[in-house]
Structure 1
Amino acid sequence: MQHIDTDLSVSDLLDARVREHGDRVFCTWQQESITYAELGERVDRLANGLLANGITAGSHVAVMLAHHPDHILTLLALLRIGAIEVPINTHLRGEGLCYQLSHSEPQAIIADEEFAEQLLPALDAVGGPVRLIWRGANEPQPTAQTQVIGFVEMSRGPAGRPAHRAGAGDIVAICYTSGTTGAPKGVLMTDAMYRAAATSSLLLSGIDEGDVPLFWEPMYHLFGIEVVVLALCKPVTLAMVERFSASSFWRWARASKATHIHYVGGVLQLLLRQPPQPEDRSHGIRVAWGGGCPTQTWHPFEERFGIEMRDSFGMTETAALNIVNTRGIPGALGVPLPYFEARVIDEAGEPAGTGEVGQLLIRGKQPGIVTPGYYRNPEATAATIREGWLHTGDLVRQDEDGVFWFFARQKDSIRRRGENVSAWEVERVINQHPQVEESAAIMVVNEFGDEDLKVFIKPVGKPFAVEPFLSWCRERMAKFQVPRFVAFADDFPRTPTQRIRKHELSKALDDGWDAEKLASAP
């Protein structure tokens, strides 16, 4: 496929599947099977229920739902009516959650009861009236600013397709990605970006009609959304499970007759750490597709499980994946997909030579498949998108065969457990601890070859109790933001402008505390 068909919206794809493959099973979930026809009807009823309650085209709707079919319905119903979804990472709490609710200005929030403890204290951050659409039996009490509506009631709207039809360039979501030197940025997502992400996954994975992807990916990330849209591009069956589990993964794959698996973060490494079993190859999986497979993991995973690896590079701002590795070269990013362009520039902004390290730039060959910018952040938009090229902040090189290779990040961020972790966000919270004068968070490579988080603390007074400090962090940060390694510093090396020279901080794993072992170094 050389281009994205921008005449078709995601909702148009749903209509096509209902019309052409209505009796096919779109998704299995526990003991339930949902056909494309049933999916279309349920999406329309929810969409009409939303419209009847004042949620219309352009409304901002924050979504804090777990991984279940109702989350799929919500995603597609919001697309149906042209509302703008704000996917909320369900691990967020405290300041991180309050910031996104305040900055995105939602008129409605759709949430699962299981997140009440995190969400309800953060509602005041919205700063105005909000409809809380509650999925659960124990509805919170309404307030002067909050109207509470049951999700079940909302999902029983009248049948019939709402009239709205999204265009390729329409903004359909604000997806927050961790900042590096400032607050998280809300990436503006177009309908075309969703379809580009799904099309790219199809090209990378080789998924075709009748295949069965194992669907565990959370839909508060683009890599989960793209799998849903993928299943509207091709008539496949999503074998949906509640969450990733290394111990249950292959049992689920065999039971569902899955043909493809998707990976991000440390998923492959977690599966390799499971004790070898005689049935390691007794499954129907043909391909594992995703991003960021470590070089040292590639061949061991293929050899143990008998699965072809297909890797890629991308980011939320560029519709998830743009450069793909289908040639089986461990460690390579690969070559650009046909509807994207990539180039490397040096520090002066000039084209880098073959084999020369420089910053990677991405541009779409079609309108709408790269973000138009960041919500309420014109400065970040201007700094990131220049003359049509998106500056990724990643350092790469391109070899004589046109293959791109990753070198390093310019950005002060860590890729941990599939999440982009901003050092700035971590330090901002930790510096509020009463015994912390200053902190510095850095990326380290752990014993499994994965990126992990280490924080250096300049304490106020002694002794400093690490275990209570980590508990304090867990109450205020998402679990992927809580540092694993904690070390101490009497002072930090600094630039003349007093910035901490983080590259001079030790990346050793044994010079402080390891939260997973809860024991201090000698």
Structure 2
Amino acid sequence: MPDVEVVATLLGELKAAAKDSPDRTFAQVDDTEFSYRESFDLVTGAARGLSSLGIAPGDRVLLLLPNIPEALWSWLAVGAAGAIDVPVSEDAMGASLARTVAVALPRAVITTSALLGRLNDAGALGEVATSIKHVILVDPDATVDATTPYAKFGDLIHVDDAAAPLPSVRGSDMATVMFSSGSTGAPKGVMIAHEYYATMAGDYDPFYKLSGSKTVYCPQPLCHIDARIHVINVLARRGTIVIPRRFSATRFWTDVEAANAEMFSFIGAMLPILMKQPAGPRPATRRVGIGSSIPTAMHADFEFRFNTELIEGYGMTEFPAILNQSLGEGGPGNVGRPLAGAEVRIIDSSGMPLPQGSVGELVVRPTRRGAHMQGYWRNPEATVQAWQGLWFHTGDLLQELEDGSFRYIGRLKDSIRRRGENISAWEVERTALAHPGVLDAAAIGVPSPLGEEDVALVVIPRPDTNLDPAELRTQMSKDLPRFALPRFIDVVADLPKTPSHRVAKAELRARGLSVSVYDAEGRPA
């Protein structure tokens, strides 16, 4: 049984922490510290403020925020008000952002005045989303057009009648809709219940083994499940979460040491960037890093140079706690063993189980309540497709090793993983096809020197068109977040097709890119 037991909602856990550890620092976000008592007061005050605007249980609230304190309080306050938060990357823009708004149908948006302009540019406050009735700005001195109904986040926390009760929230109520990369279509909204968050702390406990006042340094964005996992585990153990504005290779170790963090989180692409920094003295304090997608070739070198123990795991927004290495049993070549809340199996293309050592698709099903998503928002067809034979199909190829751990092999589904972001190939292709000079397009992932993948776009130009790859990429930047923009653009005469006239992605990957491919980073392909 897990050592940590948490209540059904994060507000309940924060309330308990404010009572038993009121003065301990819960969060340091963008260099500002907050105690557990301060955090509880901020969250409940903001939740009452949202309720005073008419935000009711079940309403969606879009969070378009960088890693600032308000991003943390907004997430927790929306849930405390019984509403549903919809976190979006601060890099979201254009058609991609407008599509998310149109699907989520939020009643309110919490953002900065600068990012509000991006919403306007995307048309997300006009015809795209007539559902939005309130714009809440986190800037204390924000000014906007007088025709825009808005409130200031700071003012909401100081509403009258601070003792007004908050709505009753059950563990099974939906807390979040978090958009994850689509495998064969647009990104899908993963529906997350309150008990999903609570369950994670128990499932991960044997692997984290945090106790007392442990401090975790987490440079990942709060709109992702990775960062939220660390917040929840710290909260359950009355530790401290340190969240910088963004990942910085030059500040990383300085921040970790300043926070006296025993543990840090990472995505695999961060490790090569940190290794490229000028060498300094080997740290005297040994620390633990927890993350995913560790480049196998540098695993041991990174651990030695920075005096760390790297612990790797495997999960996804739909099912966050699947596999993980444990402390003292890490090492390159595997992503650990099943966690307590997951039963796993390796299957072939017909759905039949494969023997140990075979490579096949990983499928998983929960062994306890709340260990997985409730489904895809407004997309029952995709929900049914993901759950076949009572197993959730991950779309990833893995292999079970002799010791019972698992090795990650690659993707079965059509999505691209770049620097911690899951990118929908469909969305990249759709954006490219909007260009008048593009006849057909296919997006694939290609190996990156930083680990994971870079985005490559292979296009067929329209006849009698002189398609400029750089101009195409500039045009695409208006509708795609920066992380989804292709590094490589390959202009070709044909694309391999299947008998059903779909692009044969496996054949395209095997064919590789041409010697004349355009590289936006200007390095050899």
TM (norm. structure 2) is: 0.93
Per-residue Cα deviation, 1:160-214 (whole angstroms, up to 9, x for no partner) = 4734343222110101011121111110001121123344454433332211111
Structure 1: how far apart are the matches of 2:322 and 2:175?
A: 20
Structure 2: how far apart are the matches of 1:348 and 1:317?
A: 23
Per-residue Cα deviation, 1:204-247 (whole angstroms, up to 9, x for no partner) = 33332211111322111111222222222011122231111011
Distance 1:171 1:490, change over 3 A: same
Divergent runs of 4+, >6 A? none
Per-residue Cα deviation, 1:21-56 (whole angstroms, up to 9, x for no partner) = 001111234664311111111111111111111112
Distance 1:239 1:101, change over 3 A: same
8 A Cα contact 1:265 1:416, kept in partner: no
The answer to whether residue 219 in structure 2 is matched with residue 216 in structure 1 is: yes
User: Following TM superposition, by how much is the alpha carbon of 1:254 offset from its aligned partner in structure 2, in angstroms?
Assistant: 1.7
Q: In structure 1, what residue type is equivalent to 2:287?
A: R
Partner in structure 1 of residue 233 of structure 2: 230
Distance 1:161 1:199, change over 3 A: farther
8 A Cα contact 1:205 1:287, kept in partner: no
Structure 2 residue corresponding to 1:442, chosen from 441, 444, 449? 444
Structure 2: how far apart are the matches of 1:198 and 1:266?
A: 25
Distance 1:195 1:507, change over 3 A: farther
Partner in structure 2 of residue 495 of structure 1: 498
> Which 5+ residue runs of structure 1 have no aligned equivalent?
none
Distance 1:135 1:31, change over 3 A: closer
8 A Cα contact 2:264 2:289, kept in partner: yes
- Write out aligned runs for 1:412-427 (5 A): 412-427=414-429
TM (norm. structure 1) is: 0.94
Structure 2 residue corresponding to 1:138, chosen from 127, 137, 142? 142
Question: 225-234 or 501-510, which moves further after superposition?
Answer: 501-510
Partner in structure 1 of residue 125 of structure 2: 123
The answer to whether residue 518 in structure 2 is matched with residue 517 in structure 1 is: no
Structure 1: how far apart are the matches of 2:108 and 2:146?
A: 13
Give the alignment's Cα RMSD to 1 decimal: 2.1
The count of corresponding residues between Structure 1 and Structure 2 is 515
Q: In structure 1, what residue type is equivalent to 2:145?
A: Q
User: Following TM superposition, by how much is the alpha carbon of 1:291 offset from its aligned partner in structure 2, in angstroms?
Assistant: 1.5
Question: 356-365 or 131-140, which moves further after superposition?
Answer: 131-140
Structure 1: how far apart are the matches of 2:398 and 2:186?
A: 26
Distance 1:3 1:237, change over 3 A: closer
The answer to whether residue 8 in structure 2 is matched with residue 8 in structure 1 is: yes
Identity score, percent: 32
Structure 2: how far apart are the matches of 1:288 and 1:48?
A: 37
8 A Cα contact 1:4 1:196, kept in partner: no
8 A Cα contact 1:178 1:422, kept in partner: yes
8 A Cα contact 2:4 2:236, kept in partner: no
User: Following TM superposition, by how much is the alpha carbon of 1:314 offset from its aligned partner in structure 2, in angstroms?
Assistant: 0.4
Structure 2: how far apart are the matches of 1:298 and 1:323?
A: 18
The answer to whether residue 512 in structure 2 is matched with residue 507 in structure 1 is: yes
Structure 1 residue corresponding to 2:248, chosen from 245, 249, 266? 245
Q: In structure 1, what residue type is equivalent to 2:399?
A: R
Question: 107-116 or 2-11, which moves further after superposition?
Answer: 2-11
The answer to whether residue 206 in structure 2 is matched with residue 197 in structure 1 is: no
- Write out aligned runs for 1:46-445 (5 A): 46-121=46-121, 122-124=124-126, 125-136=128-139, 137-141=141-145, 143=147, 147-157=149-159, 158-160=161-163, 162-278=165-281, 280-282=282-284, 284=285, 286-318=287-319, 320-326=320-326, 327-445=329-447
User: Following TM superposition, by how much is the alpha carbon of 1:436 offset from its aligned partner in structure 2, in angstroms?
Assistant: 1.1
8 A Cα contact 1:91 1:479, kept in partner: yes
Structure 2: how far apart are the matches of 1:190 and 1:3?
A: 22
User: Following TM superposition, by how much is the alpha carbon of 1:518 offset from its aligned partner in structure 2, in angstroms?
Assistant: 7.4
Structure 1: how far apart are the matches of 2:429 and 2:257?
A: 43
Q: In structure 2, what residue type is equivalent to 1:316?
A: T
8 A Cα contact 1:41 1:159, kept in partner: no
Structure 2: how far apart are the matches of 1:173 and 1:18?
A: 23
Per-residue Cα deviation, 1:109-151 (whole angstroms, up to 9, x for no partner) = 11112312311232121133521111223333354xx521121
